[in-house]
Amino acid sequence: MIGTTSIYRLIRQLVGASTPVTAVDLIFHESELQELYTAQPQARMLLRVVREDIRDPSTMRKAITSDVAGVVHLAAVSREEWCSDNQADCFDVNDRGTQMILSALDASEKGGKRPWLVFASDRRVYDPQARHPVQEDAATRPTSLLGASKLKAEQSIQDHSIGIASSGRGTGTMHAITLRLSGVYGSVYDHVDRLVASIVVPAISHLPVQYINSEHELDLVHIDDCVDAFLLSMKRLTDLSNDNRHTRQRTTHEIYNIAGIRSATTSELVDKVLHLSRSKSPVLELESTANAQDDYQGSITKAIVGISFRAKVSLDEGLIRLVGSYLARTEQFLIDRIDNMCYAASPHPEINSHVEKLDGCIVHMSADVSGLLGSLNAYSGHWQVDDEHQATRVLASVHWADESRWMLTLQNSEDSVEFFGLREGQTDDTDQLHDAVFHGEAGEQLVEWELEVDAERAAVKLIVPGTERQLGPPPYFAGEFTWISRSGDVFPWRLSPFCCPAAEPWPFAAEDPLDHSIEYLRMATEDAFTASIPKALCDRLSRALEYVGGQLGTLSLSLLDDDMIFRKTRMGPASGWVQAQLPACTTVCEHPTVCVDTGDCQCVLSACKGVTRFPFEDKARSDALSFSSPSATMPAPAGSYHLEPRSTSQSWMSVLRPQARQYLLSGVSQPAIYVSSFTSSAQEWISSLSQPVHELDAEKRNCFTADGMLELQLSLQRTEAEDADLYFLPNYQARYDGLWHHAWEALRENMPRADPHRLVIPFTHDFGACRAFDFSLWNLRHHARRDPSTRHVIAWTVNGDLNSVCYKPLQDVIIPPRTCNSPELYELYGDRSRVRPSRERKVLASFSGTYWGVGGISRRKLTCPRTLSLPTYPVLQSQHTLRTVWGPGGAQPGYLELLGDSIFCPVPEGVAGWSPRLVDAVYAGCIPVLVGRATQHAFWDLLDWAQFSLTVEREDLQRLESVLLGYTMEEVERMQRALLKVREAFVYPLDSDAAAGEGEEGRGPVWWATVASGMRRRTRYPVPGVVDQPDGLL
């Protein structure tokens, strides 16, 4: 079997019948092979996997040996987009690859017989104008590159067969069947951008479903019927090969259409999927002539007679099988993940038991304040437990004493003269426990605690040595410490490392409760002392398992019955979406749908890299062949196939998410945006300012002027209000907030009937549409809510934080901040030739920044020297000795030059989740490293961030260098190339160039924000029929 990407089921059928199989393909995913081995244990003995290219003659000779009865040829460039991206390689794989297989069949001839051949072709070989139902003798006039390459391969098989027949009986026999397949669906291993998969996968996760041409007639064949067609073809060919009659035909090449039971329209398909999956997905329907597929209905009359093929799986049955397969695969994934990583199988209790690794660590300490999370903070000689979570850094010294107990000393690392310990007599009186023990008196006081650890709970006791007392936190924040018995089952303290001198993994590092609060919470104003990302993840996995079990148990075709659909789903704007107020679900990249859906959260788009199905990505969008050999002289195909003009995908489009790419290729027009004004008095005041509102501050006191630049760029389009699709309301956040009400007053006067759902408002300060500020995320959660006047609008916001209520993922558009370094960036790296390739860079990773806000926690962990955690044999090989540069404070001299010499640039949170450093890094060609998944970044729904960034989980900061060194230089340079294709999306024009628009390419932030807003405007969102609870001011 050659090529197995989407047809593991055929392998299952064959090995289930005890048939030995050799599978040749460049990509086999271990997880999918394991699923195969679990379903068919005998496959471990009967299946031989060869990860090589079919165009390699030696591979084919080794795979197609004399004991091989036949070959099922499925290997191909099978997506139209891939053929468009590299036409020469498409024909080389599909035609020359077929010729290599034919040559191998000749070489394995035995006793005058060659192995038979089943070739998977495509319906697109036919003339689109052929009469329906299309029969096999219809004209073959492909108008697509994929169809042309498949037809060329068919002709190679036919020519080879004729050549054998005309060479006399001494050349033996050859029998082949070509199956011209309709649209095959039904496999969970399918390409996620193929039609049915592109609808089912987001529908299961309640993410937006997008499709083109609702009334297009589809001819779909389920994969089970497709497998039947292959098995029937194999039986037919086996019979022909075993026919020893003198009158038999020595060579045959039969062609059959393989089609489904009946056709359906795209809108019918979408409707069925949404009902079967009980989806709350928003829906975006596009109409396009540029991307419309021709209607097709294939005739299987010949297949019925020739191989006894009849499709058995109806569309309804096929879809319920597919939805059920995704749910079952999700259920099995959850079971396996829980069994391997949670509860008794969790690795963290063992890691937490290595107390000796805490010696020399810088930690922060948390306390159990009546079940709530408190932080031990130092205030100028005074220790206090409160909910400020400023995470005072404490130096922990640990040693083993008396062969029986661990002893712990806690010293304020920010003020080295202070210890968190006891003074003489304080074991009887807690009034003075808040006072620090100073270094000069440490020898006379009690600065050591006896440490007792509960590794499972990741908590500790601080025991007064030689007593039965342990230190207890106050019963309320900022209260007095208490004494409790050491014998009780109470472990009221937690130590969370920032940095340790020992090699990772470090005790308690993965279970930092503040990491949990940053990553997992959105609206909670009270954090639990027991909070832990690993434990919370296991709880969510368990709840998701229960939820998917319920979905599977109630999955039925009755969901499609008319009497069950008693009420049409009401559709409305994004602000009314039924899922809008739910917190974000957890993202697990290995999950079949990425989203851990517990039924009470909303799935969000991720930066997870999808499962690779296309092995020649490196050669896409070029004329180079992905495999070369002395015989690789295949020229680009001639124009004899009458290829119709079509919009070719430009290289930058390859860095888009599939839906964004489809949206742009559909030819939909950009929304026209009218720029509203201020009241006349406010406008006069603005005009009197010494510096225009769109210009960067001359002294760099702030760089929040993206709003003014957006306004200026949109004004250049000169759209009148009556011609507009959207209305832009000026807003100069954190600069001239007093103008907010003047903008609204002018809008009401000039456009009293303006639809609020068509309003666009820019927010360029920390927490966006909340129109509030606080250095502490925890304080912000107490008082900030989304401004009521922004409930329905599309916020163009720099804030994409999923851990606050300021951002709505499917309503708002994330824009990049404007970096203060814009002039220097343009000067240094405006010419792309000055951006140094990754392999020429000398710095593995660099970061320089302050420790303000919630980001201070991740930043301190990031900048830890981890000299003992470096791999001995790194995957990333460079001509330079790579180093890391972690700098204190803000941007240092040479900061931009350092970015230009760094391969990776971590971009942890700042005060909020975003930082202008991301823009600096992107433009300098430095690959962004995102920390955690609590923040989405610029144009998250358009750009495929997985192609040009990395994401590290928070617990993996302790091994950051090892993670980064685990990539090959080829992978790194692929990410850098993708980054450079879209870097213009992140940088605004210079003040001096503002009047000229967004540059030569015209795809700056305004263009991308307009595209994203157009998608939202056209999308319809399911809204509740009855509102039975308020949503507050979210």
CB 609 within 8 A of CB 601: no
The span from the CA of 245 to the CA of 237, in Å, is 15
Q: Is the peptide bond before 133 cis (omega within 30 degrees of 0)?
A: yes
Q: How many CB atoms lie within 10 A of CB 254?
A: 18
Residue spans per domain, the chain: 354-506, 673-817+1015-1022, 824-987
Please tell me the predicted confidence (pLDDT) of residue 5. 54
Per-residue pLDDT for 546 more than 50?
Answer: yes
What global pTM score does this model have?
A: 0.92
Pick the CATH number of 824-987 from 1.10.10.10, 3.40.50.2000, 3.40.50.300, 3.50.50.60: 3.40.50.2000
Q: Considering the domain 354-506 in this protein, what is its CATH number?
A: 2.80.10.50
Question: Can you tell me which residue has the tokens 């109630």?
Answer: 554
Model confidence over 889-920: pLDDT tens digits?
555 679 999 999 999 999 999 999 999 999 99
Instruction: Tally helices (H) and strands (E) across the chain.
Output: 28, 38
Give the distance from CA 811 to its chain's centroid. Answer: 19
Residue 921 has pLDDT above 60, yes or no: yes
Peptide bond into 615 cis (omega under 30): no
Rg value, the chain, Cα: 32
Average pLDDT over residues 491-514: 96
CA distance 982 to 987: 10
Mean pLDDT of the chain: 89
Q: Does the pLDDT at position 643 exceed 80?
A: no
Burial (0-12, 13-18, 19+ Cβ within 10 Å), 637: middle
CB neighbour burial string for 137-164, b if at least 16 within 10 angstroms, e if fewer? ebebbbbbbbbbbbbbbbebbeebbeeb
Q: Compute the distance between CA of residue 703 and CA of residue 818 in angstroms, rounded to an integer.
A: 6
Q: What is the pLDDT of residue 79?
A: 82
Q: Tell me: the pLDDT tens digits for 563-582?
A: 554 446 789 999 999 999 99
Per-residue model confidence (pLDDT) at position 891: 56
The CA–CA distances, whole Å, from 367 to 168, 341, 417, 491, 523 equal 89, 27, 23, 9, 22
Give residue-wise pLDDT tens across range 837-859. 999 999 999 998 888 888 899 99
Q: Is the pLDDT of residue 863 over 60?
A: yes
Question: Is 694 in a helix, a strand, or coil?
Answer: coil
- Spatial distance between the Cα atoms of 506 and 458, rounded to a whole number of angstroms: 12
**pLDDT tens figures, 952-1003:** 999 999 999 999 999 999 999 999 999 999 999 999 999 988 877 765 568 9
Q: Is the pLDDT of residue 39 over 90?
A: no
